[in-house]
A and B are shown apart, each in its own frame.
Chain A
Amino acid sequence: MKNARSLLPTVFLTPAMAILAVLALVPTVYAVFISFQDRELSRPDGRFIGLENYIALFSDRRFLNAIKVSLTWEILTVALTLVIAVGLGILLFECASAKMRNFLSLLFLMPVILPRVSAAFVWKFAFHPLYGIITYPYKAITGQPLDLLSNPFTALGTVALVDVWQWGLFFAVIVLKLLETLPPQPFEAARLDHAKTWEIYAYVALPMLKAPLISLAFVKMIESLRAFDLIYVMTRGGPGISTETLDMYAFSQGFIESGRISYASSMAVLMMIATSVAFTFIWKRAKI
């Protein structure tokens, strides 16, 4: 017979696990279920159509565009965030006094504490072609308004900038703290070993932080997948479909434009499979 002590964790865990199963598994299974149907929001009935939704997706140019936008967004935000984080982290570690570091760390933590929707509204206004503080100098000098968010070539990059502002600064604080945990002796040995400052970081410090930096990259990859709110507030996928990511397109197919909930679900299912496969693959590779 089990004693009370070994039973206790089960007692406490069961309700939470049950709620999680209901909240996470039920919608997922239901999404898979309706992705094989032709359900629409406007009608209560629907019939099984097999893989038709999936086949239709691959001839949907808007879907293919969304894949491209999503991939670009993922690469752009993850790469920029890490570059900014490592660069700023090293700069803080190298140049700032202990007091200054603490102050700047606090400052750098603020953007990420801000709810993303608020951040999006603040920046949307800052990029406003007529009243925005960022576009103002351009307007003052050239007399022309600068509308970065309405230009299909700059819109995605501009939104990415806001994402990097939130996460790059936050990660810079993490990189700084990671650097502070490293033993100083290998750095000193490298200084005596004819390494210049940049070489010390490139060949000694950053390789020593390889594992945590990879973890940071993963966190950011997963986080970047969930950028719906930011893009939704700033561009709603526009201009045209130039910033329409997969989740944005699925949302508009399912709820905004046509209410094709089955079609949207099949997209969600594909995204789930693709991310699971991709992340498993990258994770395995990174571990080696």
Chain B
Amino acid sequence: MSNITCAHVDKSYGAINVIRDFNLDVADREFIVFLGPSGCGKSTLLRMIAGLEEISGGTVSIGGTAVNDLEPRDRGVAMVFQNYALYPHMTIYDNIAFGLKRMKVPKAEIDQRIKAVSATLGLEPYLSRKPTELSGGQQQRVAIARAMIKTPKVFLFDEPLSNLDAKLRHHMRVEIARLHQKLQTTTIYVTHDQLEAMTLADRIVLMKAGAIEQVGSPAEIYERPRTLFVAGFIGTPNMNFIDVTAASDGNGWLLKGEGKDIRISGGDFDLKAGQKIVLGVRPPDLVRVEGEGGNVLSGIADLIEFHGNDALVTFTIAGKEVGALCKASSCPKSGDVVHFSFDEARLHLFDAGTGLSLRRA
């Protein structure tokens, strides 16, 4: 078993607190992604688990053993760095073998294990080369091989694909997913790229300013964002936000916005009369309709972005930009008056003060 438990973990540099009371249980074989904007503490947290950063408070356990005071080498973790961190003066073979040599593994066994690992990652032709003679993607594969070969209890990835170009990033993402399917090693993966997080993770830990905003499966986080921050961070193109005020309306609710009122039943939400609310709706959930009506957002299309199958239509409601996806084949032209409707079930309502979702659990 190699589950990971973080209990009340803190990190401070002098008086500056970068991680506050972080609690998380990672199950054995789980693929966890730490997602968040730059500076949210996700890399620091990973480095604390690896043992490269001191833990200021709380406990980190791997496989049931507290590792706070263990050296990185004794924690049974392997890490892949953003800039590969290969040993520049060694051949690829020696890079991969370095850890095993330090562990005093017999030479014949090292040889055999390197053969197996380099076959998995397609590195056989490069074993006698130096890291500088390889492309970025190949170097990162070497770094993964170096981590894999030690058969660690836990894999740690620190933004491993950020230095690669878009095409290679996609390719390596698929490879990492395949590798996890095959090896089933508990993995923590840090990224600021929501696409990587959504495609790789069993569970995403979305962080902001050193604290967890939401933990959940990619679908949960996308469908049921717990806070305004999560809603805005996840999803491309970004969710549209409209400021409204709730008013009771007999058996339903009227959400009064500048220039547009929206009527909903409100059954799924905890609403109070007079409450300031941020209404969120994702661009793909806006459906193009003909003519104005009840819950229809209308405006003049001012920007059409072609995405391939779809096009993103941007229009303005009371000074706020709203984006909506529609079929590229039937999308309006710039300057056309457009109308979009939506399903109440696809709405997200957040308290404007606390930023918390008003959806009933």
The chain A residues found within 8 Å of chain B, CB to CB, are 183, 185-186, 188-196, 199, 203-204, 207-208, 210
Contact = CB atoms under 8 A, between A and B. Distances in A.
27 contacts: A183-B85, A185-B81, A185-B85, A186-B87, A188-B52, A188-B72, A188-B81, A189-B86, A189-B146, A190-B98, A191-B52, A191-B73, A192-B50, A192-B51, A192-B52, A192-B77, A193-B73, A193-B98, A193-B146, A193-B150, A194-B102, A194-B103, A196-B102, A203-B87, A208-B87, A208-B89, A210-B89
Interface residues of B, number: 25
Contact of A189 (B51, B71, B87, B103): B87
Contacts of B72: 188, 191-192
Contacts of A195: 73, 98-99, 102
Given A194-B73, A199-B102, A189 B89 contact: no
B99 A193 contact: yes
Contacts of B52: 188, 191-192
B78 interface: yes
Interface string B80-105: 01011111111000000011001100
Interface in B40-77: 50-52, 71-73, 77
Contacts of B78: 192
Contacts of B84: 185
A186 B84 CA distance: 9
Given A191-B71, A192-B73, A207-B89, 9 more contacts: A188-B85, A189-B87, A192-B50, A193-B73, A193-B150, A194-B102, A195-B73, A195-B102, A204-B87
Interface of B: 50-52, 71-73, 77-79, 81, 83-90, 98-99, 102-103, 143, 146, 150
Contacts of B85: 183, 185-186, 188-189
A38 to B, nearest CB: 55
Contacts of A194: 73, 99, 102-103, 150
Contacts of A185: 81, 83-85
A199 B146 CA distance: 17
Given A192-B79, A195-B98, A203-B98, A186 B73 contact: no
B131 to A, nearest CB: 10
Nearest to A210: B89
B81 A193 contact: no
Q: Which of A192, A195, A208 has the most CB of B within 10 A?
A: A192
Contacts of B87: 186, 189-190, 203-204, 207-208
Contacts of A191: 51-52, 71-73
A204 B51 CA distance: 19
A96 B10 CA distance: 26
Contacts of B51: 191-192
Contacts of A196: 102
A88 to B, nearest CB: 23
Contacts of A190: 87, 98
Nearest to A187: B85
A193 B98 CA distance: 7
A288 to B, nearest CB: 14
A191 B102 CA distance: 10
A190 B85 CA distance: 9
Nearest to B156: A192
A186 B79 CA distance: 11
B99 A186 contact: no
Contacts of B77: 192
Nearest to B152: A192
A208 B73 CA distance: 22
B119 to A, nearest CB: 21
Nearest to B105: A194
A183 B83 contact: yes
A203 B99 CA distance: 11
